[in-house]
Amino acid sequence: PAPRTVLLTGAAGGLGTLMRELLPAYGYELRLLDLLPIEGEPDAIVADLADKDAVREAVRGVDAIIHLAGISLEASFDKILKANIEGTYNLYEAAREEGVPRIVFASSNHAVGFTPRPEGDAPLIPIDTPHRPDTFYGLSKSFGEDLAQLYWDKYGLETVSVRIGSCFAEPTSVRMLSVWMSPADGARLLHAALTAEDVKHTVVYGSSANTRLWWDLTTARALGYDPQDDSEPYAEKLIAEQGDLDPDNIAHAYLGGHFVSDPPIWPY
């Protein structure tokens, strides 16, 4: 049966806020969790992923989990270890113990950020390209994907790992023309990841159907995802303002963009 009650971790964050607005239209009842309280959501669970008892209680009885919580930029290894590596492990252990059948894991393009970006007619980056994290942050997403594979192989807990590009209201850089995922397409992809049958552990790229796409959306489409948006209408203005990508600039040469050279740092 299609999942109905879904735990959304990281619900206070940028993507969590967008998905709180968009996913209920697909018929989900969302249970919310975040380290931070959410204004207007008194029932949201305020908990740290480090709190194993709280996490176990939070996952109890849900049909699926969308796991967005964690540090979403670069940080010290110790911080990443606690929030993203141990935190994701705690969530998977709780899900296994409580029999939650499926997790949709917010992985990131930064798990493969040191992959050279395709230029011209070069082939799109395949989903089975080796992990090449560009930061400790990206490394934690590579770990999360491997953890998901372990929990499928060993325990039959299914995951769709979504290597999200940039999911924001609008693309704001020339790089984002290639990796942008509109919020509406983000909701479409999460819905597909929650409802497709027999996903085992599937890894997909998360973006809209951008004209300047760098990666292969085949595995995402195989879930039933049918992206409706394209960043191209933003291209002329962004390129006029910022100039086109320069292959001699290291921050333009790889999939991960400026994360390879000057990653944005998590603020707390």
Structure token pair of residue 144 = 């999360």
Length in residues, the chain: 268
Q: How many C-beta neighbours within 10 Å does residue 221 have?
A: 15
User: In the set 31, 102, 110, 252, which binds ligand 15L (CB under 6 A)?
Assistant: 110
Pick from 212, 228, 191, 221: nearest CA to 6: 191
Per-residue x/- marks for ligand 15L, 158-177, CB under 6 A? Answer: --------x-----------
Residue 109 in the binding site for ligand 15L (CB under 6 A): yes
46 pairs with which residues across the strands?
Answer: 34
- Nearest-CB residue for ligand NAI: 13
* Footprint of ligand NAI (CB under 6 A): 10, 12-16, 34-36, 48-50, 68-72, 83, 87, 106, 108, 164, 166-167
- Apex 186 CA angle, 33 and 121, nearest 5: 140
Pick from 117, 112, 82, 140: nearest CA to 214: 117
Active-site position among 28, 137, 205, 254: 137
Structure token pair of residue 89 = 């492990």
Establish whether 137 is a catalytic residue.
yes
Residue 72 in the binding site for ligand 15L (CB under 6 A): yes
Nearer residue to ligand NAI within complex by CB, 203 or 247: 203
208 binds, among ligand NAI, ligand 15L, none (CB under 5 to 8 A by kind): none
Q: Which residues bind ligand 15L (CB under 6 A)?
A: 72-73, 108-110, 166
